[in-house]
Amino acid sequence: MENNIDNLRHSCAHLLAAAVLELYPDAKRTIGPPVESGFYYDFDFGDEKVSEDDLKKIEKRMQELVKHWKGFERQDLSKQEALDMFSDNQYKKELIEEFSEVGQTLTAYKSGDFIDLCRGGHCEEPNKELQNFKLLKVAGAYWRGDEKNKMLTRIYGTCFASKQELKDYLFMLEEAKKRDHRKIGKELDLFTFSELVGSGLPLFTPKGTLLREQLNDFSQQLREKVGFQKVWIPHITKKELYERSGHWAKFGGELFLVESQETSDEMVLKPMNCPHHQQIYASQMRSYRDLPIKYLETTTVYRDEKAGELLGLSRVRCITQDDSHIFCTPDQIQQVYGELISIVKEFYGVIGMKLRARLSYRDSATPEKYIGDEDLWKQAQEIILEIARKHELDYYEAEGEAAFYGPKIDFMAVDALGREWQVATPQLDFVQPDRFGIKYTDQDGQEKTPVMIHFALMGSIERFLSVYIEHTAGNFPLWLSPTQVLILPVSTEKHLNGARALADEFKRAGIRVEVDEADETVGKKIRNSAKMKIPYVLVVGEKELSGEDLTVRVRGQEEQETMPKSRFLEKISHEIAEKK
């Protein structure tokens, strides 16, 4: 089914290109692949500007053209035939030269009067099957994803097999706009960005910082319960560390370089923590009796992401990880993974997101992308499959999704809109410990190389927050809400001091409380509190301040509740303790 929908969407990308070339004859088409939930096609429109206002016109032409598309006809081409066919398109010619150099067969596919360089993968009856499509947006994209190349115009669209699926998807997109974490983050005053600081470098306000710290505290508590110990490492390191680990060869272009005025050492901002933690392990001799050794650290790493790929908190240049590394013997792998799986289930059970597991393996067709012995990889992949079965995980296997040094279990969380996101990840690594030569002495006095397990519960806290803010639409549970209770004095003149005294009492009980001191009507204050998504709002006047029952407004609930102050304090203290 996945291939079928990809073929459908790839066919729709052809249809988009055909309509664009009829409406904009001087446009140069480049590539148009299917992607998750849709497709795109990149064009060079020259001096002509195409915006989202033009999408309806293009869509209409697509609907007219598809009536005459009965199929896709394949044509095998020689290099010269292909170059002649696309003689006026430098982008296609670049691809033709590249494909020819590696001996790839050149093919084109024709439907109606439109022909495009393509390796195939289409629907069989486009005039019948390409009925449920929609163009979505226009964006900029560099040719081949390289900022040194020309900026092209990317047109995104989507296509489904049925009208209802398209309707459901478009509804989900509208809901997603309302839940956009960038929009909610601004409304709730959680984080901001500054041009003076730089793109991809978020700044968290007191409320946003509190949210981060509450989540991180919970993550640390769960790990400390099973024996993890905190460590600390610096933010810069010698380049040599990552050359030894293998990261430099793979990701050297994504690292920030640091220049020293005192030493000739080549330094970098750390892009990951695992090589540092290995150096802590390697600082003394280890026995099998010491293992497993478990380190945890919440720290920020830095990656020089492309400017065009940065997006709110979803893709940033400073990535804060609730990172962990375990060094263990081979026969301890099952036990350690069992602990990690329990932690994942508990954390996401409280968070309120359903999980399934992706067993991420290496791609056997591209062994050059990975480091380490093939037999070790096979062994590691068999181990995580056995673990998934033993713990009755809802899992599926995915070739090509492994880290370059080892397979992993990627836990995928489903949000309120049905979207799936990668979150927690325990990764099994037989490779890096060997590259660094770290050892332990077994019971026979022989030196052995430990197994390393990399684990992150949230992964990137910034990215996790982007997912979680959209999942909850900013309606955080009481234990996480930056403001748990808001007190609204009926009269600022008469009741403000009493409201402040009540707030102080709540603070002493460990509750995060604020007083709305604005000289506004109670009605306006209540509307503002709803926008700020405060869990509990207390309207206090003479009666409430003199000891009578409190009037409690509960978020998302129309009817107010009344209860004694002592009962209210007991209620919310219990909810906070139980992480409700």
**Is 408 in the active site?**
yes
Q: Encode 428-458: b = buried (16+ Cβ within 10 Å), e = exposed.
A: bbbbbbbbbebbbeeeeeeebbbbbbbbbbb
Task: Give the containing element (helix H, strand E) for 136.
Answer: strand 132-142
Query: Residues 118, 274, 318, 328: which is the catalytic one?
Result: 274
Q: Which of 488, 547, 492 is nearest to 513 (CA)?
A: 488
Query: Residues 321, 381, 427, 432: which is the catalytic one?
Result: 321
**Is 321 in the active site?**
yes
**Is 323 in the active site?**
yes
Strand partners, 269: 236
- Distance CA(268)–CA(277), nearest Å, equals 17
Rg (CA), the chain: 28
Here the tokens at position 357 are 């597991």
Pairing of strands 28-29, 536-540: unpaired
Query: Residues 9, 122, 408, 495: which is the catalytic one?
Result: 408
**Is 274 in the active site?**
yes
Query: Residues 44, 116, 322, 323: which is the catalytic one?
Result: 323
Instruction: Give Cβ neighbours of residue 423 (< 8 Å, ≥ 6 apart).
Output: 348, 353, 355, 411, 412, 413, 457, 458, 459, 464, 467
DSSP string of 208-248, one letter each residue: HHHHHHHHHHHHHHHHHTTT-EE----SEEEHHHHHHHTHH
Note whether 555 and 475 are within 8 A (CB). yes
- Distance CA(525)–CA(166), nearest Å, equals 40
- Distance CA(552)–CA(572), nearest Å, equals 12
Phi-psi sector, 312: left (phi>0), alpha (psi -120 to 50), beta: left
Query: Residues 454, 471, 533, 553: which is the catalytic one?
Result: 454
Query: Residues 181, 207, 247, 303: which is the catalytic one?
Result: 303
In the 8-state DSSP scheme, what is residue 37?
T
3-state secondary structure of 495: helix
Instruction: Give Cβ neighbours of residue 70 (< 8 Å, ≥ 6 apart).
Output: 111, 125, 126, 127
Note whether 313 and 466 are within 8 A (CB). yes
**Is 303 in the active site?**
yes
- Distance CA(110)–CA(210), nearest Å, equals 57
**Is 579 in the active site?**
no
Here the tokens at position 2 are 């996945």
Here the tokens at position 49 are 């500007």
Q: Encode 107-131: b = buried (16+ Cβ within 10 Å), e = exposed.
A: ebbbbbebbbbbeebbbeebbebbe
- Distance CA(489)–CA(498), nearest Å, equals 8
In total, the chain counts a number of residues equal to 580
**Is 90 in the active site?**
no
Q: Which of 231, 243, 442, 234 is nearest to 332 (CA)?
A: 442
Residues forming the active site: 274, 303, 321, 323, 325, 408, 454
